[in-house]
Chain A
């Protein structure tokens, strides 16, 4: 069964540093998403991406965040100048037009 792949599985970074979280969506999927889950809290939508541009973003997705699809396969989330409160699990998801979302296994980001 095809999978969404995320790397790294765990990233530790110092406050103020930039991080890039990587995702390889399922190859024939058209819609891409980033979600995050702060420990003990619910899964929150960050941003959706379609046709090489952001289609929707939440209040959480401020100027600190950016997304890119630099080539035909990768989908990245960049967090500039990380803060302690950015510590969370970040999930990438993709879907085609007809089916539900397929999530990656997540990247645990720890900001120290």
Chain B
């Protein structure tokens, strides 16, 4: 069965510092990986998906199949980045998203 692990429950960084939110997955096939963000009491919003290889709000994530990781990175954290971040995995076809437990990012001024 597929599994998504986000080892850090809480990550605090200072404004302007680099951020890396870790995500590891276990799945034997070729997964689709996503990052979702949830600002305080708001809906889950798609931040990134690995197949689009885009940068949103300065965040990037690279799928490393050798390390089965999909870490989320941003070179300079902003206060408005404070939120819950969820890594999610999807198998092919109409299979549901499987979420990690999430990491709360707190950016300190």
Residue A25 CB within 8 A of the other chain: no
Closest CB-CB distance, A46 to chain B, in whole Å? Answer: 9
Q: Are A42 and B97 in contact (CB under 8 A)?
A: no
Instruction: Please encode chain A, from 21 to 57, with 1 for each CB lying within 8 Å of some chain B CB and 0 for all others.
Output: 0000000000101010000011111001010000110
Given contacts A41-B101, A42-B99, contact A48 B43 (CB under 8 A): no
Cβ contacts under 8 Å, B46 to chain A: 100-102
Of A48, A103, A106, the most chain B CB neighbours within 10 A belong to A103
Given contacts A100-B34, A100-B46, A103-B45, contact A31 B94 (CB under 8 A): yes
A42 to B43: give the CA distance in the assembly, Å.
Answer: 14
Given contacts A100-B34, A100-B46, A105-B42, contact A42 B96 (CB under 8 A): no
Residue total for A at the interface (Cβ-Cβ under 8 A): 23
Cβ contacts under 8 Å, B86 to chain A: 42-43
| Contact partner, A33, options B36, B49, B96, Cβ 8 Å | B96
Cβ contacts under 8 Å, A4 to chain B: 43
A58 to B97: give the CA distance in the assembly, Å.
Answer: 12
Cβ contacts under 8 Å, B98 to chain A: 45
Q: Are A43 and B94 in contact (CB under 8 A)?
A: no
Given contacts A43-B86, A100-B34, contact A105 B43 (CB under 8 A): yes
B residues near A (Cβ < 8 Å) are: 34, 36, 42-46, 49, 86, 94-102
A residues near B (Cβ < 8 Å) are: 4, 31, 33, 35, 41-45, 48, 50, 55-56, 58, 91, 93, 100-106
Can you list 8 A-B contacts (CB < 8 A)? A4-B43, A43-B44, A43-B102, A56-B95, A93-B97, A102-B46, A103-B43, A103-B44
